[in-house]
Structures are given as C-alpha cells and as structure tokens.
Amino acid sequence: MGAGPPTFKVGGTSPFGNACVSRREIISSFKKEDKAKIIEKYKVGDIIKDAEVKGYSTFGCFFNVNGELDVLVHLQEISYSRVNHPDEVFNIGEKHDLKVISVDKEKLQVGCSVKQLSPDPFEHIENYDLNKVYKVKVVKIMDFGAFCELEPGLTSLLHSSELSWSKKNASAKKMFKINDTINCVITEIDKEKRRVAISHKLTLENPFEVFDKKFPVGSIVEGEVVNKNEYSLFLKVENLEVDAFLHCNDLTYSNNGEQELNKYKKGDKIKVKVLEIKVSDQKIRVGLRQTQADPFDWFKDKKIKQTITVKIISTDSKGLIVRPEGCEMDFPIKKSNIAINAADTRTSRFTGGERIDCAIADLDINKRKVTLSIKLLEEIEKKEALEKYGAEGSGKNLPFSSLSEDLKKKDKK
C-alpha cells in the first residue's frame, strides 16, 4: 500500500462512528507559515550571497538559500549572453551570488537574477575588437566545447571545432578545467543576437601553414605511419601536429594499391612527395609512387595502332592481363578485344606465359591511360593481307579464319 497521511478513528462524528483527519495538512500549514516568515526577510534589490545550485529546468535554474528557501533564476536572468539551458552556465552544487528582483508573498516565491549583479556588457561591446586575442575564463565544460566568460555577464561558447588545428575531435575536458584562464580570439560580434563567437586555435600557430612554408608542393619528406584504414595511410612529418594523407593508389604505379597497402604498419617510415596542400581545408596529400620512376613512361615513344609484344600474365572470364616487354606494368585486354571472330574470344585458348602481339588502340600519356587490342592488330593485318592478295603476316600473330573468304570477295570485284 502507498504511504499516506496517518488516519485516526473518532467516534460520534459520522453515521459510521468514525472520521478521517490528516497530519499532513497540519504540517503543511506550519510550513506555509514558516515560509511566509522567511519570504518577509527578502525585498527587491537584496543581494543573496553563496546560493547553491540545486536543480535545472528548461525555463531556469533553482538555487537553495541558506537551506531554508528555494529561489528561481529564470533563463533570461542567467546571463546577458544567450543561454539555451542552465547547464551551459551552472554546475549542480556551485555557489553564486544572486540579486532579488521579485517577491510574491501570495505565491511565496522569490525571483532572482545573476546577470543584474553586473552591468550589461553589450552596452559597451564596441570595446571588443574582432580578430584580437583576449583572456577568457572557462566556466563550464561540455561534450561539444566549453563556455567561457570574457567578463561577468558576457559568456561565449568555445566550440570543440575551434579548440585545435589538427585534432578533429578535440576534447575540452582533456584540454581545460573550470576556472582556467585561456587565450581566445573574437571571430564574430552580433549585438542584435547578443552573441560573441570565439576561437582558441586561432591563438595557436597553424601547423598547416608551417608545413606549407617548410615543405611546399613537390618536396620529398620522410613520414612515419601513425594511422591506417582500408584505403589509406596517415603520416606524421617531423614533430608537426598534422597528418598527411596517402591514398593506396599513390603507393604504387601498379593496379594493386590495396594489396600494396597491406605491406605497411604503424611506425614504418617512408619517403614521400608532397602532392597537395590546402591550408583552408586542413588537408595535406602525399604520394610514394611519385618518388619513383613512372613505368608508364615506356609508352612515351609509342603511338596508336603500333604493334607491341606482350606476355600473358593471367586470364579470367573478363579477358587477359598482359605485360609489355620492357615495361613493369600490367594492363588488361578485354575479352571483346581478343579477336575479330566471336568464337575466338574465349580466354581458355591461353594458358598464361605465352608471348603474343597486339596493337595500341588508344593512348593518353597525360592521363596515363592505354588500351591494348589483339583484335585491332588482326584488323590491321587483315587489311594489309587483302591489299597484298594474301601476303603472309608475322608468324607471331593469331590466324584469321575469314581471310580466304575476304580474298575471294576481293577477286570477284
């Protein structure tokens, strides 16, 4: 059974010979009388010293005064700066001075203010300059940053994104403690919205600018692998608090960048070339393969329709993987580029390891793209054979079964 006020039987007061009375009403009436006497102690304008933060509400903060009275500081009376919730400013158990701004003897309520203990800082906000360093006091630490006080009544949120240049998930809890005095730069002042934006990282040297000056694009630097994911490495260069991004495609000129990535682990040191620096985006990109000779340069003196000899490295249902003689790169020959006749495009014809001729179907040195085709070579040699009335081609080449029929057609013409 739920606890309730004690009841006592009193005979002769009802047809049933009993009555219910409540001790709670007696106690409550005494509390009201006591609270009324306490309320009479306060008047508008009084200063209450060391009131303790007792609890929060969406509309304000409750303080306990001398263990005898709870008073409310409305959200709008907490600070001259914009406050969304009391927990942005106060911690449970803290003690603050309050100013009495209302006394309601009928409701037995006392309203107080924290901000009215000091002048409105936005009346002289012009005294603050943008992009200037100021000392601020850390008054509240949250998961998303810290609330800092420029002066009594003027509080600003130092967001976690403004704590560090290099740490994307910087923690104010790890960097500061309450009542710390730190340097911040004012980045925005909005008098109408009563808002001041600040940054701590702007008071620190930007490591991306330091990197840019010390290692401009094109520089060769040594970096240590400090992190790794499924497609890239992150390198630390010297003692700079920045990570350089190395994509697996920039590890090697071959087509197996992801396999190459597996060779590296944390702590490995490698020399890389600086490919891109974006200070505003806090991004540095480096490459390993760019420090090596590009095997694609083998194609610099080649041209489209030129015949080259390749070695078959492997085969699958999609086509062939071949390597040109004298080149250190592998290239695909699609199934559709294996032969003129559809019946001859089956990859099972090849076992791997044999040398064959093919033609360069497409070539773009700047984009490092090349298309190789056995079919194109057949078409070229077939055309030559028709013009020469059946002259034999290179013994290295695959035969074209339709040549005799095409020769007959040519003779009829």
Reduced 3-state DSSP string for 174-211: HHCCCCCEEEEEEEEEECCCCEEEEECHHHCCCHHHHH
pLDDT of residue 16: 54
233 contacts 264 by C-beta, under 8 angstroms: yes
pLDDT of residue 253: 84
Fold match flag (127-203 vs 295-408):
yes
pLDDT of residue 162: 94
pLDDT of residue 80: 87
Which residues, other chains included, contact 284 with Cβ-Cβ below 8 Å and sequence gap of 6+? 208, 211, 242, 243, 244, 245, 274, 276, 277, 278
Each residue's pLDDT tens digit, 154-194: 999 999 999 998 777 889 999 999 999 999 999 999 988 88
Tell the CATH superfamily of the 127-203 domain: Nucleic acid-binding proteins (2.40.50.140)
Encoding tokens for residue 89? 């400013």
Indicate the CATH number of 24-117 among 3.40.190.10, 2.40.50.140, 3.50.30.60, 2.60.120.10.
2.40.50.140
Each residue's pLDDT tens digit, 213-244: 999 999 999 999 999 999 999 999 988 888 99
pLDDT of residue 14: 47
Ordered by start, the domain boundaries in the chain are 24-117, 127-203, 207-291, 295-408
CB-side neighbour CA atoms (13 Å) of 140: 19
- Residues of the chain below pLDDT 50: 1-14, 23-30, 391-399
Q: Give all strands of the β-sheet with 145-151 in edge-to-edge order.
A: 154-159, 145-151, 133-142, 181-190, 195-199
CA 270 to chain centre: 26
pLDDT of residue 312: 95
d(CA 200, CA 136): 10
pLDDT of residue 88: 86
295-408: CATH number: 2.40.50.140
Backbone angles phi, psi at 19, to 5 degrees: -150, 155
Architecture of domain 207-291: Beta Barrel (2.40)
Torsion angle in degrees (nearest 10) through CA of 353, 356, 359, 364:
20
pLDDT of residue 323: 94
d(CA 300, CA 302): 6
